[in-house]
Amino acid sequence: MAERATLGPVTCAGCGLLCDDVSVDLSGEAVRLHPSCPLGAQWFAERVRRPADAPMATVDGEPAELEAALARAAELLRRARRPLLYGFEGSTVEDARAAVALADRIGALVMTGSPAGPWPGAPALPLRGASTATLGEIRDRSRVVVIWREDPETSHPRLLERLGFGAGGGAHRTLVVVDARETPTTARATLRLRWPGTRDLEALVTLHAVQRDRPPASSDIHEQLVTLMEHVRDAPHVAFLYGPGLTDGEGGQRRALALHELSRALSHERHVVTLALAPAAGTIGAQEVLTWQTGYAGNVDLASGHPELLVATQPIDGVDVALRIEGAAAALADGVVTIALGDRPDADCEIWIRTAAPGVHAAGTAHRLDGVPLALQAPLAGDAPTAAALLEQLLSEVVR
Which residues sit at the interface with other proteins, rule CB under 8 A? 9, 11, 20-21, 93-94, 97, 101, 104-105, 125-137, 139-141, 162, 236-237, 264, 267-271, 273, 288-289, 291-297, 302, 305-309, 363, 365, 367, 371-375, 399
Coil/strand/helix, residue 144: strand
Which helix H or strand E contains 23, and what residues bound it?
strand 22-25
Q: How far is the CB of 66 from other proteins (least distance, A)?
A: 22
The residue (of 126 and 318) whose beta carbon lies closer to other proteins is 126
Q: Is 328 left (phi over 0), alpha (psi -120 to 50) or beta?
A: beta
- For the CB of residue 305, give the shortest distance to other proteins in the complex, in Å: 5
Q: Dihedral angle at the C-alpha atoms of 305, 95, 247, 258, nearest 10 degrees?
A: -70
Whichever of 93 and 228 has its CB closer to other proteins, that residue is: 93
**Least distance in Å: CB of 271 to other proteins?**
5
CB of residue 297 vs other proteins: minimum separation in angstroms? 5
What are the residues whose beta carbons fall under 8 Å from the beta carbon of 234, sequence distance 6 or more?
143, 144
- CA distance linking residue 318 with residue 140, whole number of Å: 49
Shortest Å distance, C-beta 106 to other proteins:
11
* DSSP-derived 3-state class of residue 175: strand
Output 59 or 238, the one with its CB closest to other proteins. 238
Q: Is 220 exposed, middle or buried (0-12, 13-18, 19+ CB in 10 A)?
A: exposed
- Which CB, 259 or 297, lies closer to other proteins? 297
Pick 215 or 371: Cβ nearer other proteins: 371
**Side-by-side strand order, sheet with 22-25:** 6-10, 22-25, 32-34
Tell me the closest approach of the beta carbon of residue 222 to other proteins, in angstroms: 28
Q: How far apart are CA 315 and CA 166, in angstroms?
A: 44
Question: CB 254 → other proteins: shortest distance, Å?
Answer: 17
- In angstroms, give the least distance from the CB of 288 to other proteins: 6
Of 305 and 315, the one with the shorter C-beta distance to other proteins is 305
> What Cα–Cα distance (Å) separates residue 235 from each residue in 142, 144, 168, 247, 306?
8, 7, 21, 26, 47
> Minimum distance from CB of 138 to other proteins (Å)?
9
* Three state DSSP letters for 327-346: CCCCCCCCCCEEEEEECCCC
Nearer Cβ to other proteins, position 239 or 341?
Answer: 239
Between residues 349 and 369, which has the closer beta carbon with respect to other proteins? 369
Burial of 160 (C-beta count, 10 Å sphere; 0-12/13-18/19+): buried
Q: CA 290, 291, 292, 295: dihedral to nearest 10 degrees?
A: 120
CA distances (Å), 30 to each of 13, 46, 95, in order?
18, 11, 30
Give, to the nearest 10 degrees, the angle between helix 200-211 and helix 222-233: 50
Q: Whose Cβ is closer to other proteins: residue 263's or residue 338's?
A: 263
